[in-house]
């Protein structure tokens, strides 16, 4: 299954910069792993916001939650999940 996921960072503007960097390094590496294993396939910047939209894949909602909550910044993220089904006209169906 595929999911569109919007995540916005609520890390306080005056928060500890060193700790934030540690989290970002960890999560950057974690996203790479998730990309390797096909869980995260796309990530886009939402202009003007500390936020992104992403295209995630998981066998079900529990597996998606496990992936999302493996990020160190997870407690600071406001996350919206859009569950997707297959659409007959999807150009992506041919190439998969």
Residues near a copy of itself (CB under 8 A) are 1-5, 7, 10, 13, 28, 31-32, 35, 40-50, 52-53, 55, 60-62, 64-65, 68, 75-77, 79-87, 89-92
- Pairing relationship of beta strands 40-45 and 51-57 according to DSSP bridges: antiparallel
Q: Do 88 and 22 meet the contact criterion of CB atoms below 8 Å apart? A: no
Q: Which of 8, 28, 38, 10 is nearest to 70 (CA)?
A: 28
């Amino acid at each position: 299954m595929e999911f569109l996921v919007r995540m916005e960072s609520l890390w306080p503007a005056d928060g500890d910069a060193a700790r934030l960097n540690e989290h970002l390094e960890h999560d950057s590496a974690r996203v790479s792993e998730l990309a390797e294993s096909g869980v995260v396939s796309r990530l886009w910047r939402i202009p003007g916001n500390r936020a992104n939209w992403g295209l995630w894949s998981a066998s079900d909602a529990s597996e998606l939650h496990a992936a999302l909550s493996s990020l160190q910044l997870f407690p600071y993220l406001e996350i919206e999940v859009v569950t997707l089904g297959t659409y007959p006209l999807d150009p992506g169906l041919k190439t998969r």
